[in-house]
């Protein structure tokens, strides 16, 4: 057992020894109190909060700008999870360095829910090109997939807390109406961009589902996980594509260092073409409370508006080349 494993085991064992029996092994009656939920990313926390509004107390481990691919749980994070009634995470290896923590939780009977691993999504998952048998975890970039995640989350909590099943159903139905409107908005915005300009170059390969759903060719400097660093060859490869096809804008991400995209820009400039930095997209994390991407719905709108505005701003230059 590694040192980290030993620490996690001790923390979980200590807390679970003092806590009340968990919902899965004793069918705890939540009719008279809220369910304590710890979510990993603030994107997942936002979803759970909407589905369980009025019934769930939700705490997010990761705040704005935090990269879940690289996030390491502290002893304090483990304690929060061990004291929760339910731990909710994205899954599909998004929180790659926390896999061991989730195993520790499940091993001691603490309920966990991986929202992106529901069977309703299996046929729509995008397979990783580098890791056979693994899938792209960034399902929220296709709003229709996030609708399925919302409904699956509703079913989970309705089963856990059947007395309030109608509350979860009503919350989710209202949320899905908003998600459907957001999906239509993204489609409309995407269609305003000429097909030749629908090329999205970003810091890492997080926008694959967005591309498939809304008609964009997507190119990430890094792979699906930011744990796989981009090398000089990757920078030159993307730069060659951008320069040869005269892609007007590239985008950085709020939770990924901009250094990679800046390096691509310099390499493009060395090839005699000037590419713009079109703005910051929210990839693996929502923005802060004062940002225009503090919720999933506002993040969806911010991202597509940023992409479309940047690409259309330069369409005259591109059309003349």
pLDDT digits (tens, 9 = 90+) for 179-189: 999 999 999 99
What is the pLDDT, as a whole number, of residue 190? 98
DSSP states of 5-50:
HHHHHHHHHHHHHHSPPPHHHH----TTSPEEEEESSHHHHHHHHH
Question: What pLDDT score does 225 carry?
Answer: 52
pLDDT for residue 318: 46
Q: How far apart are CA 314 and CA 276, in angstroms?
A: 9
pLDDT score at 192: 97
Q: Is the dihedral of CA 129, 130, 134, 137 positive or negative?
A: negative
Of the pLDDT bands very low, low, confident and very high (cuts 50, 70, 90), residue 14 is very low
pLDDT at 228 over 60: no
Q: What is the pLDDT of residue 18?
A: 41
Residue with the two structure tokens 């923005």: 287
What is the mean predicted confidence (pLDDT) over 51-73? 96
What value does the CA radius of gyration of the chain take, rounded to a whole number of Å? 21
pLDDT greater than 90 at residue 172: yes
- State residue 8's pLDDT score: 53
The CA-atom distances, in angstroms, between 178 and each of 51, 187, 305 are 12, 14, 17
Residue 115 has pLDDT above 90, yes or no: yes
The partner residues of 97 in beta bridges, in order of sequence, read none
pLDDT value for 23: 43
Say how far apart CA 321 and CA 223 lie, in whole Å.
Answer: 30
Q: Residue 64: phi, psi to the nearest 5?
A: -60, 140
Q: Identify which has the larger pLDDT, 20 or 290.
A: 290
- In this prediction, residue 16 carries a pLDDT of 45
- Tell me if 116 sits within 8 A of 139, measured CB to CB: yes
Mean pLDDT of 144-155: 98
User: Angle at Cα 79 formed by Cα 74 and Cα 80, nearest 5°?
Assistant: 100
pLDDT for 273: 97
Give 140-174 as a 3 state SS string.
HHCHHHHHHHHHHHHHHHHHHCHHHHHHHHHHHHH
pLDDT band at 129 (very low <50, low <70, confident <90, very high): low
- What are 91's two structure tokens? 């899954």
Average pLDDT over residues 84-108: 93
pLDDT at 21 over 80: no
Which pTM does this prediction carry? 0.88
Q: What is the rounded distance in angstroms from the CA atom of residue 168 to the CA atom of residue 313?
A: 43
> What is d(CA 106, CA 281) in angstroms, rounded to the nearest whole number?
34
Is pLDDT above 60 for 305?
Answer: yes
Dihedral (Cα; 204, 206, 209, 214), 10-degree rounding = -70
- Of residues 172 and 132, which shows the higher confidence score? 172
């Amino acid at each position: 057992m590694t040192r980290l494993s030993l620490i996690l085991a001790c923390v979980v064992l200590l807390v679970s020894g003092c806590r009340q029996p968990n919902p899965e092994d004793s069918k705890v009656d939540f009719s008279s109190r809220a369910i304590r939920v710890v979510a990993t990313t603030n994107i997942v926390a936002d979803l759970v909060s909407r589905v369980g509004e009025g019934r769930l107390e939700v705490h997010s481990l990761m705040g704005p700008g935090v990269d879940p691919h690289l996030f390491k749980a502290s002893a304090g994070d483990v304690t929060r999870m061990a004291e929760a009634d339910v731990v909710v995470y994205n899954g599909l290896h998004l929180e790659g360095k926390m896999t061991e923590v989730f195993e520790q939780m499940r091993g001691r009977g603490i309920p966990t829910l991986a929202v992106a691993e529901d069977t309703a999504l299996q046929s729509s998952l995008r397979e990783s090109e580098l890791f056979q048998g693994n899938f792209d975890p960034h399902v929220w970039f296709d709003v229709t997939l996030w609708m399925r995640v919302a409904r699956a989350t509703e079913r989970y909590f309705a089963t856990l807390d059947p007395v309030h099943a109608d509350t979860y159903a009503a919350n989710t139905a209202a949320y899905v109406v908003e998600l459907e409107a957001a999906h239509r908005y993204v489609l409309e915005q995407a269609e305003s961009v000429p097909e030749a300009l629908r090329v999205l170059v970003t810091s890492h390969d997080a926008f694959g589902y967005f591309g498939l759903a809304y008609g964009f060719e997507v190119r990430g400097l890094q792979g699906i996980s930011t744990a796989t660093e981009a090398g000089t060859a990757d920078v030159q490869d993307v730069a060659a594509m951008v320069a040869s096809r005269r892609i007007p804008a590239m985008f950085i991400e709020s939770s990924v260092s901009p250094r990679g995209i800046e390096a691509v820009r310099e390499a493009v400039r060395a090839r005699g073409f000037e590419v713009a930095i079109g703005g910051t997209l929210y990839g693996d994390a929502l923005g802060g409370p004062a940002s225009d991407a503090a919720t999933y719905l506002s993040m969806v709108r911010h991202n597509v508006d940023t992409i479309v505005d940047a690409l259309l701003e330069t369409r005259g230059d591109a059309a003349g080349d």
